[in-house]
Amino acid sequence: MELSEHIKTANVEDVTLRRPFHPALRGTLCVTSHHLLFSDRKDEASWQLLILLKNIDAIEKSVENLFGYPRAVGSSGTITIKCKDLLVLQLEIPGMEECLNIASSIEALSSLESVTEMYPFFYRPSHLTLNGPWGLSSTEQYYKQTERLWDRWRVSTVNSDYSVCPSYPSAVIVPREVDDDKLIHSARFRQGGRFPVLSYCHHRNGMVIMRSSQPLTGANKKRCKEDELLLQAVIDGSELGYIIDLRSAQQAQQARMTGGGFESKSFYSHWKRIHRHHERGKVVQESLIKLVEACSDPSHSVDRWLSKLENSKWLSHVHSALSTAGLVVECVERDGHSVLVHGSEGTDNTLLVSSLAQLILDPASRTVTGFLCLLEREWIQAGHPFQQRCAHSAYSHARLKQECPIFLLLLDCVWQVWRQFPLALEFSEALLLRLAQEVYASNYGTFLCNSEQERCAAGVKENTHCLFQSLLRPDIEEQYLNPLYEPTDLAIWPSVHPQSLQLWTGLFLRWTEYAQNMEEAREEVWSIVKEHHEQAGPDRTNNTLSTHCDTLTSFENLMDELTIL
Amino acid sequence: MEHIRMPKVENVRLVDRSSSRRTHVGTLYLTATHTIFVGEGSEDRNELWVLHSLVCNVVKHKASQSGYPLLIHCKNFQVIQFIIPQESDCHDVYISLSRLSRPEKYEELYCFSFNPNVDKAEREHSWDFLDLKAEYSRMGLPNKLWHVTPINREYRVCDTYPADLFVPKSVTLPVIVGSSKFRSRGRFPTLSYYCKENHATICRSSQPLSGFSARCLEDEQMLQAIMKSNPGSRFMYVVGTRPKLNAMANRAAGKGYENEDNYCNIKFQFIGIENIHVMRNSQQKLIEVSALRSPSMGEFLTGLENSDWLRHIKSIMEAGLFISKAVAEEGVSVLVHCSDGWDRTAQVCSVASVLLDPYYRTLKGLMVLIEKDWVSFGHMFSHRCGHLIGEAKEVSPVIDQFLECVWQLMEQFPCAFEYSEKFLISIHNHIYSCHYGNFICNSQKERKDLCIKEKAHSIWLHLWEKKLDFMNPLFKPDQSQNQGLLRPSTAPYCFKYWRRLYNRFDRELHPRQSELDCLMTVKEETQQLEEELALYEQKMAVLDKERAKTLYMQKGVLDSKQALWSLPLDISLANTPQDYIGGAPNVFTLQQGERESAELCLFGDQTKSSDADNSDQESGVADFSSHSSGEESLPSEDSVKDPDSDETGPNRA
């Protein structure tokens, strides 16, 4: 079925658009295969609103004369559009039939299942070309750039045809002394084939963060010699490594009943296991839904608001993610031990914790490029199932399948770190907000599919543009810079006390008056810093001043001589 | 002095609250005014000074194996825990401190012994720094409708009011006297704020003694006159800031509220704010929540909700917003009262003023506002802050709530205030410290009787001189949305927990880098550069003239002054690890000793990590702690060491 067949009414005139903090507008509404376009009819400087249909999470329609009060002159209907970026719009559409047609087009076109029908495959801006490399870096390039890995680590292409682990990239970094054969065995012993691979090697002490999925020990405590050897090779003779298991001890025990399990002390004698409970899947998605619901009603009493905020548990998830990341960092940086992180599948909380730990530890991941590379490495290539996790956001009425806002949770945690270290990150909140939007609906192919294998099959790299590359174009990157950035080599340990963690107002209250005043503050920060650059810029002022000093000194010398004379 | 049973105790341990494993050994001294702890060790100045007047209560805890713990809770929310080796010493310190922190007479308060090195003229100058007459004339008063009545010059009509009061010109003295007899404590309606642009006013009073049916002609005339002094409006609002039920109950006691039938053209409006007892209990709960050690997110939020504190803040804000909108948008005058007109009335009038008038969003403006609406109008500081031993039921954080409302507004309007939250926190500290004379006693009359101005100093000039510390770099007075009326949102999510106040001394809870401090430095530097550039240009101009007279030129050597311009951004770059282990205490037992020594930094600043040379990351930590003394001026200002201790001398008994 062609996409255009979903469109029964393409154009409606005299539509009224209502959105928060703007007067209502009248104009024309168009539905295309991928967009909703509203343009007002003012003669000059016409204003347009273009919404990706994929950004629409839910629509609610109310048609006025459903109950048998036909009006003489036409009927009308209202569509409420709730977007995945949390914006809520209302469209008043004259004509009941048009209204229903538009609503059904939106419903059909906003939930396309086929990847190649999605907008990134049609997005062809004039300033970008499809030729050339896609993405910022590959495993091989990362390895080449990271000299400290060369000694003990190697790139394995055992997964080049994605047969060993379908959700891993074709190349992964593993201990040099472990051959591909052992990797294959270890993969069979791990859920989804996600055998332990290197995630980060600490620049100060060479300790590493590894990640994997749970071992398939099952009820009868199976073991896998190769897996044990692989982990033994990771710590390479040092006496201790830590396994951070992102489930409670009880949950890990229970997992054995369904074939999963954990690394037992007797077989992994040099590894110490720590259990930290993290919520996953549906629970986290429901948290997001509850939180957004709580934020959407400003008429609540304070008590009700606080109890809804508490009840959503969103901040508790932020709290656990940052605490566990802090624990990992403590193991690596403070105690000098390597760490293996995993939960069950190793595609969600595992990535959350390992990437947060890197942000805290590694100055290189706090630049714009470094942060995007981190996301590419630890989320895109590492096989976070974006398509499943971000199919719906907080407003959707659809039955939950595999949705889970773990990536949003990561962005929130990064925001918390930025609040506590406002000078330590090169990027600003604006980048996090942009990513929060792009992950749900995008012109770019970066967040499509669930793994590299799927992206290959769909031809994502050949047929779409890469978001990260486009964010790094100098003119674009500038909007995402932190004006106060002052790089530091040290670890930035965030405080995880509940008193220190805050609601991410920039995201969750983005469309309220609250956010508008913050915008003013941000502009002021920029103008203060710009003014300073103008005064103290290395070129202008220093030049002027040194010329001045130059002349002054010579004159002063002259004057001295004159006085002596 | 006679209260000090034990002037000095050795081998006392000061427990770091963020981690009870960290303690510092030292000597405890009790002086007439301070408790001083001097840490042992090579570091030069590890001292903790606590003013007795800031001590809220002292509690002995059950003996532990290391000694006898003594907990001191301060009114600025600092909590200090000492462990004293001998039980008798602990008891003596406890008894002494309990007595020292509860003075019986005003004369015992610190402001009477505080003697900075200034002469009489300077002291008088500090009192003259703020002039309420100038403030009223800034508002445009007196004018043809309002004037100062001499009636309370001797505090005979109302002993809790100031001597100078503005009333409509049209009211006669008998009307004032009659009205005052019909109001609780004689607090008749008088002007608090006048809006030059539209002549609308905010007036304040206490409740009328109306009972169920009593009337007072003079009082009705008084309100009529106030209404008529605003020529543009046909009615006025009377805002009752008590919950309606409370106000109605008061009628049974012969008090109550204005009956709309008896007063012409008033609209009565209830905006329920709870009484001082409810507020006291609410803050107590909030303090307990803030002092929880590593609570879960749920415990914290539930505790915050159960305290009801933010709900009360919201109700005060809403009352202020109602009044400011009535004045600015409707041009209607408002009379505000609660029961006595010195607690909720003061809160609401001053919040409304901050919303209405950008002047009160400047440093000096806020000082004037507090001096006017709180100090001069007889907010009972001594009772509410518990300066003297007395009725515990009179204590209530009424002014805390006002300061917090201002803070909540600053959070919503980051560019609208000249001052930063440090200013509010500093004021808060000094309201309770009794360091200066401003917030002593319960009324202007009492202060006059006690000759406060002759015996003590005023805080305002002191704060003004330190104003660079209190500036908000984001302040943009010329921005249109920051002029005139502020329209804050009162959506529940706009009310936040004030961590900087309630966890002021828990350093590990606060951001390790300060955006505002950094911006302030940048801004100052920009200005400095501009000035220097101007100076050079000036010099150039002079020298150019000289050049004309000179016959020969000589090449000089470039003095490389570039080094001057390198950015001295003093940014603390790292942080110490937090307690991430929480539920798994047995994990790091092996490394415990090592970590503890690395984290040992007394009072969080000054001290460098003792074994900083071990490895790279350790030096990172040390680097941070040495940086932080410069960065975090906030907690170190009043707590770690008394800021004015230099002026007082060591004071060691």
Reduce the secondary structure of B336-386 to three states and give it as a string: EECCCCCCHHHHHHHHHHHHHCHHHHCHHHHHHHHHHHHHHCCCCHHHHHC
**A226: buried, middle or exposed (CB in 10 Å: 19+, 13-18, 0-12)?**
buried
Does residue A361 sit in the same domain as residue A434?
A: yes
Query: Do both B468 and B364 map to the same domain?
Result: yes
The count of domains in chain A is: 2
Claim to verify: residue A199 and residue A74 sit in the same structural domain: no
Q: How many CB pairs under 8 A join A and B?
A: 270
Domain assignment present for residue B571? The answer is no
- Among the residues of A376-405, which ranges form H helices? 386-389
Which chain B residues touch A309 with a CB distance below 8 Å?
A: 301, 493
d(CA B492, CA B510): 23
Residue B434 and residue B380 in one domain = yes
Q: How far is CA B119 from the centre of its chain?
A: 27
Please check whether residue B454 lies inside any domain of the structure.
yes
- Under an 8 A CB cutoff, do A493 and B537 touch? no
Contact state of A421 with B305 under an 8 Å Cβ cutoff: no
Name, in order, each residue with C-beta under 8 angstroms of A76's C-beta and a sequence gap of 6 or more.
A63, A64, A92, A93, A94, A95, A96, A99
d(CA B262, CA B281): 37
Residue B617 in any domain: the answer is: no
Asked if A535's CB is within 8 angstroms of B530's CB, the reply is yes
Helices (H), A110-195: 139-145, 180-188
Q: Do A323 and B539 touch (CB under 8 A)?
A: no
Highest mean pLDDT among A96-110, A546-560, B364-378: B364-378
Question: Looking at the predicted structure, is the pLDDT value of residue B513 above 50?
Answer: yes
Residue B275 known to bind ligand? yes
> What token pair was written down for A40?
């007002």
Q: Is B272 annotated as a binding residue?
A: no
Q: In Å, what is the CA distance from A479 to each residue of A431, A435, B610?
A: 8, 13, 43
DSSP string across B75-125: TTS-EEEEEES-HHHHHHHHHHHHHHTS-SSGGGSHHHH---S--HHHHHH
A535 close contact with B: CB closer than 8 A? yes
Cβ contact, residue pair B578, A421, below 8 Å: no
Question: To the nearest 10°, the Cα dihedral for B289, B293, B294, B299?
Answer: -30
pLDDT digits (tens, 9 = 90+) for A48-95: 889 999 999 999 988 765 455 554 456 778 899 999 999 999 998 888
pLDDT of B183: 95
Task: Select from A508, A534, A557 the last residue of a domain.
Answer: A508
Nearest-10 Cα torsion for B301, B303, B308, B313: -60
Find, in chain B, the residue whose alpha carbon is nearest to that of A272: B587
Q: Tell me the pLDDT tens digit for each residue of B85-136.
A: 999 999 999 999 998 988 999 988 999 888 888 888 888 889 999 999 999 9
Q: Which of A242, A510, A532 to mutate to test the interface with B (most CBs of B within 10 A)?
A: A532
Gyration radius of chain A over CA positions = 27
Decide if B389 contacts B104 (C-beta within 8 A).
yes
Is A459's Cβ below 8 Å from some Cβ in B?
no
Q: What is the pTM of this model?
A: 0.88
Q: Tell me the pLDDT band of B142, cut-offs 50, 70 and 90.
A: very high
Mean pLDDT of B384-402: 93
- Mention every residue, 6+ apart, whose C-beta is less than 8 A from residue B607: B43, B46, B600, B601, B625
List the alpha helices (DSSP H) in B32-80. Answer: none
Parallel, antiparallel, or unpaired: how do β-strands B201-205 and B190-194 relate? antiparallel
Q: Cα(B258)–Cα(B377) distance, rounded to whole angstroms?
A: 22
Q: Do B468 and B499 fall into the same domain?
A: yes
Which of the listed ranges A97-106, A250-259, B46-55, B369-378 does the model predict with the highest average pLDDT? B369-378
**pLDDT over threshold 50, residue B590:** no
| B-contacting residues in A 465-504 (Cβ below 8 Å) | 484, 486, 488-503
Whether residues B314 and B191 share a domain: the answer is: yes
Question: Could you tell me if residue B538 is inside a domain?
Answer: no
Note the pLDDT of residue A147. Answer: 86
Strand partners, B208: B183
The pLDDT value given to residue B509: 87
How far is CA A138 from each of CA A135, A200, A272, A448, A460, rounded to the nearest angstrom? 8, 14, 32, 17, 15
Residue of chain A with shortest Cα separation from B544: A555
**Which residues fall within 8 angstroms of residue A548, CB to CB, at 6 or more apart?**
B536, B537, B539, B540
Give the CA-trace dihedral at B49, B54, B57, B61, to 10 degrees. Answer: -20
Residue B246 inside a domain? The answer is yes
**pLDDT above 70: residue B598:** no
Same domain? B300 vs B361: yes
Q: Which of A488, A508, A528 is the endpoint of a domain? A: A508
Which amino acids of B are annotated catalytic? 338
d(CA B501, CA B410): 14
Q: Is the pLDDT of residue B207 over 70?
A: yes
Exposure on the CB side of residue B464, measured as CA atoms within 13 A: 16
* Nearest in space to A102 (alpha carbons), one of A48, A32, A55: A32
**A535–B547: do the CB atoms touch at under 8 Å?**
no
Q: For B515-531, what is each residue's pLDDT tens digit?
A: 888 888 888 888 888 88
Annotated ligand binding at B343? The verdict is yes
What's the burial of B154, exposed, middle or buried (CB within 10 Å: 0-12/13-18/19+)? exposed
8 A C-beta contact, residue A243 and residue A271: yes
User: Average pLDDT of A396-409?
Assistant: 89
Please report the pLDDT score of residue B341 as a whole number.
Answer: 93
Q: Which helix (H) or strand (E) holds A15?
A: strand A11-18
The Cα–Cα gap between A341 and A345 comes to 11
Tell me the average pLDDT across B476-494: 87
User: Closest-CA residue in chain B for A319?
Assistant: B297
Is A503–B493 a contact, with Cβ atoms under 8 angstroms apart? yes
- Once rounded to an integer, what is the mean pLDDT over residues A214-220? 92
What residues make up the domain containing A243? Answer: 139-508
Among A273, A278, A306, pick the best mutation site for testing chain B contact (most B Cβ within 10 A).
Answer: A306
Nearest to A552 among B543, B576, B616 (CB): B543
Give residues with Cβ within 8 angstroms of B624, minimum separation 6: A490, B512, B572, B573, B574, B575, B576
Tell me which of B493, B535, B617 to substitute to probe the interface with A (most A C-beta atoms closer than 10 Å).
B493
Average confidence (pLDDT) over A207-211 = 94
Residue B405 lies in a domain: yes
Averaged pLDDT of chain B: 83
A326 touches chain B (CB under 8 A): yes
Looking up tokens 């007109």 gives B341
Q: Nearest residue on chain B to A334, judged by CA atoms?
A: B617
Q: Is A254 on the interface with B (CB under 8 A)?
A: no
The last residue of a domain, from among B481, B510, B539 = B510
Please answer yes or no on whether A493 and B575 come within 8 Å at the CB atom: yes
Q: Is A107 found in the same domain as A146?
A: no
Residue B633 is predicted with a pLDDT of 35
- Whether residues A232 and A354 fall in one domain: yes
Query: For residues A268 and A231, is the Cβ–Cβ distance under 8 A?
Result: yes
B474, B539, B620 ranked by CB distance to A524: nearest = B474
Amino acid occupying residue A318: V
How many C-beta atoms surround the C-beta of residue B379 within 10 A?
27
Q: State whether A158 and A50 are in the same domain.
A: no
Cβ within 8 Å of residue B56, ≥6 positions away: B73, B74, B75, B101, B386
Percentage of the residues of chain A whose pLDDT score is greater than 70: 92
The answer to the question of residue A518 being in a domain is: no
Enter the tokens of residue A351: 């990535």
Q: How far apart, in whole angstroms, are the C-alpha atoms of residue A365 and residue A521?
A: 26
Q: What is the largest CA-CA distance in chain A?
A: 109
| pLDDT tier, B611 (very low <50, low <70, confident <90, very high otherwise) | very low
- Examine the pLDDT at B643 and tell me if it is beyond 50: no
Same domain assignment for residues B299 and B267: yes
Q: Do the domain assignments include residue B262?
A: yes
pLDDT at residue number B621: 32
CB B53 within 8 A of CB B110: yes
Range with top average pLDDT, A108-117, A503-512, B350-359: B350-359
What is the average pLDDT across A329-353?
Answer: 93
**In a shared domain, residues B131 and B232:** yes
Q: For residue B464, what pLDDT band results from cuts at 50, 70 and 90?
A: very high
Residue A57 sits in the same domain as residue A172 = no
B92 marked ligand binding residue: no
Q: What is the mean pLDDT of residues A447-473?
A: 92
Residues B498-511: tens digit of each pLDDT: 999 999 998 888 88
Residues from chain B that touch A330, judged by Cβ atoms under 8 A, are: 577, 580-581
For position A201, what pLDDT does the model report?
92
Contact list, A489 vs chain B (CB under 8 Å): 573, 620
Inform me whether the C-beta atom of residue A309 falls under 8 Å from chain B C-beta atoms: yes
Q: Are A90 and A17 in contact (CB under 8 A)?
A: yes
Contact B492 A302 (CB under 8 A): yes
What strands, in cross-sheet order, belong to the sheet with B334-337?
A: B190-194, B201-205, B334-337, B236-240, B266-270
Nearest CA in chain A to B622: A490
Compute the average pLDDT of residues A262-289: 92
Amino acid at position A424, single letter = A
Residue B623 has pLDDT above 60, yes or no: no
B40: left (phi over 0), alpha (psi -120 to 50) or beta: beta
Biggest CA–CA distance in chain B, Å, is: 99
pLDDT at residue A401, as a whole number: 85
Gap from A488 CA to chain B (nearest CA, Å) = 6
Determine if residue B152 is labeled as part of a ligand binding site.
Answer: no
Distance CA(A526)–CA(B476), nearest Å, equals 13
B567: tokens are 């950015």
Sign of CA dihedral A475, A476, A482, A485: negative
CATH number of the domain at A34, please: 2.30.29.30
pLDDT for A519: 85
Residues B29 and B66 in one domain: yes
CB–CB contact B302 A492 (8 Å): no
Residues A495, A489: Cα–Cα separation, whole Å: 18
Q: Last residue of some domain: B510, B535, B567?
A: B510
**Segments forming the whole domain that contains residue B39:** 8-102
- Say yes or no: B225 and B340 in one domain: yes
**Cβ distance of B577 and A548 shorter than 8 Å:** no
Give per-residue pLDDT as tens, B277-302.
999 999 999 999 999 888 999 999 99
Q: Which residues of chain A does B559 touch, with a Cβ-Cβ cutoff of 8 Å?
A: 549, 553
Average pLDDT over residues A495-523: 89
The CATH number for B72's domain is: 2.30.29.30
Q: Mind telling me how many Å the CA of B285 is from chain A's nearest CA?
A: 14
Partner-chain contact A541 B415, CB within 8 Å? no
Q: Give the model's pLDDT for residue A245.
A: 94
Residues B169 and B49 in one domain: no
Separation of first and last alpha carbons in chain A:
100
| pLDDT tens digits along A129-155 | 887 788 898 999 999 998 888 888 999
Q: Which of A204, A303, A497 to mutate to test the interface with B (most CBs of B within 10 A)?
A: A497
Whole-angstrom distance, CA of residue B497 vs CA of residue B641: 27
Among residues B143, B349, B161, B355, which one has the least CA distance to residue B241? B349
A81 and A155 share one domain: no
B511 and A421: CB-CB below 8 Å? yes
Enumerate the residues of chain B whose CB falls inside 8 A of the CB of residue A290. none
Instruction: Tell me, yes or no, whether B200 and B257 share the same domain.
Output: yes
> Dihedrals φ, ψ of A402, to 5°?
-115, 20
In this structure, are A35 and A165 located in the same domain? no
pLDDT at residue B554, as a whole number: 43
Residue A173 backbone dihedrals phi, psi, to 5 degrees: -105, 130
Taking residues B247-258, report their average pLDDT: 92
In 3D, which of A485, A492, A488, A436 has the Cα closest to residue A322?
A492
Residue numbers in B near A21 (CB within 8 A): none
Q: Which of B414, B518, B558 comes nearest A553 by C-beta?
A: B558
Query: In which band, very low, low, confident or very high, does the pLDDT at B651 lie, cut at 50, 70 and 90?
Result: very low
Of the residues A508, A538, A557, the one at which a domain ends? A508
Annotated binding-site residue? B339: yes
Distance (Å, whole) CA B458 – CA B445: 17
Is residue B407, in this structure, part of any structural domain at all?
yes
Query: Per the annotation, does B581 bind a ligand?
Result: no
Q: Answer yes or no: do A184 and A241 share one domain.
A: yes
Whether B276 and B337 map to the same domain: the answer is yes
Does residue A177 sit in the same domain as residue A306? yes
Do the Cβ atoms of B282 and B306 come closer than 8 Å?
Answer: no
How close, in Å, is residue A200 to chain B by CA atoms?
17
pLDDT for residue A540? 52
| Dihedral Cα A100, A104, A107, A110, nearest 10 deg | -110
Residue A211, classed as helix, strand or coil, is strand
Q: Is residue A31 part of a domain?
A: yes
Do A160 and A108 lie in a common domain? no
The structural domain count of chain B equals: 2
